[in-house]
Amino acid sequence: MNKKTVLITGASRGIGKATALLFAAGGYHVFLNCRKTWKDLHQVKSQIDSMQLGSCEIVTGDVGNPEDVRGIFDVISLSCAGLDVLINNAGVAYMGLLSEMSDGDWSQVISTNLSSVFYCCRQAIPHMVKVKRGRIINVSSMWGTAGASCEAAYSASKSGIHGLTRALAKELAPSNIQVNAIACGVIDTAMNQTLDETEKAALREEIPAGRFGTPDEAAQMIWDIANAPEYMTGQIIGFDGGFL
């Protein structure tokens, strides 16, 4: 395959969808992943197919499950030698008191948000090391830096991404592989639709930019990181409208 390749986890909607469309428009072959929103993912594929610029394949599976991730990369290996870019975007939220959180809820947040990054990186890295190039971009949150009340598990998972990003960047820098993260603020996605209008208005007042970010803006930032100079690595790049 002559095209550059990218795997985007959680690509069926929100930031993942916008990023998939942008990379396809940039001529990439995009591997689209999600765990259960199949209908939405197929709609993304249809949009990319209609562009006639990039191309795509669907690689379904739970990236929080190491066996599923091995299967995803087995499918990828049938199309190309390996990835040029890995975008770890899959994520779930949980709002509630930590004392009332079940073992299952904790495990789901950590496996989906943090362990998935480890599993996907572990599979993508050998090829990148072999060819001495590659980009890994982890989609994180400002709550990984500041912490959010009633979102302890989510904040912990995103803080873990920050530590993993910085450590892995140092490990892979000698192989010319860049690892960075984007710490998003409040983005107008389905994850934030649980808030009522009063809550949304109060949250907007806390954001210096006075509004939520858009998935397209986040996707553009991810694209810019993927195309940044090679010397930029190990960075947690804030994208929060001035919130932090």
Query: Looking at the domain assignment, is residue 244 inside a domain?
Result: no
> Residue 194 domain-assigned?
yes
Per-residue pLDDT tens for 34-92?
998 889 999 999 999 999 888 999 999 999 999 999 999 999 999 999 999 999 999 99
CATH code for the domain of 117: 3.40.50.720
Q: Does 195 reside within a domain?
A: yes
Instruction: Determine, yes or no, domain membership for 145.
Output: yes
| 209 within a domain of the structure (yes/no) | yes
State the angle between helix axes of 14-25 and 38-51 in degrees (0 to 180), rounded to the nearest 10: 20
**pLDDT exceeding 70 applies to what percent of the chain?**
100
Q: How far is CA 175 from the centre of its chain?
A: 22
- Can 154 be counted among the known catalytic residues? yes
Mean pLDDT of 208-218: 97
Angstrom distance (rounded) from CA 186 to CA 22: 20
Instruction: Please tell me the predicted confidence (pLDDT) of residue 21.
Output: 98
CA–CA separation, 36 and 42 (whole Å): 11
Residue 114, pLDDT score:
98
- Per-residue confidence (pLDDT) for residue 38, from 0 to 100: 86
Catalytic residue among 28, 119, 154, 231: 154
Where helices occur in the chain by DSSP H, the ranges are 14-25, 38-51, 66-77, 103-110, 116-131, 143-146, 152-172, 197-206, 215-226
Is residue 100 in a domain?
Answer: yes
| Residue 101 in domain | yes
Q: What pLDDT shows up at residue 52?
A: 82
3-class DSSP assignment, residue 170: helix
In a domain, 198, yes or no: yes
Tokens of 30: 């995009």
What's the structural domain count of the chain?
1
Range of the domain at 56: 5-238
- Segment 134-166, tens digit of pLDDT: 999 999 999 999 999 999 999 999 999 999 999
